[in-house]
Amino acid sequence: MNNTNQESIVIDPVAMKIINRIAAGSRSEGVLECQGGVMVEGSFVGTLVVKGGPLVLMPVGVIRGVMTCDGDAYLFGTIEEQTNGEPSELEAHGAVFLTETVNAKANITAGAFKTYEGSQVDGRIKTIKRG
């Protein structure tokens, strides 16, 4: 098998306008509204609204709740089910990249999906018109 066609995703915070961050080891709960992209390396539970940049869930990051993003979402980490046992909800108006390390218990709605071998999603996947 020829593996030279392996794609890689490069996260460049400056080029991608990622100006917000939940650092590794941090735990945050509640409502977080971000202007510009957000990189999640810690833990977030609640409602996350991202405008003007991507949502980037790093491999060590964990989120749970309801997330909306007006751009793309790059999912490398874990999306847990909500405390009531229901799947979390993610709506991205751009593309969602489901990488080989993502483990999501979530319903994901997006303008487009890019799925990599090994990604795990337990929930509904739905496309919407990009606009």
Strands (E), the chain: 18-22, 27-35, 37-40, 43-51, 55-57, 62-69, 73-75, 78-79, 88-98, 103-104, 106-115, 120-121, 125-127
In a domain, 100, yes or no: yes
The stretch 101-108 carries a mean pLDDT of 98
Residue 2 has pLDDT above 60, yes or no: no
- Higher confidence at residue 49 or residue 130? 49
In a domain, 106, yes or no: yes
In a domain, 53, yes or no: yes
In a domain, 46, yes or no: yes
**How far is 73 from 96, CA to CA, in rounded Å?**
5
Q: Which domain holds residue 116?
A: 18-120
Give residue-wise pLDDT tens across range 51-68: 999 999 999 999 999 999
Total-model pTM: 0.93
In a domain, 8, yes or no: no
In a domain, 3, yes or no: no
| Tally of domains within the chain | 1
In a domain, 2, yes or no: no
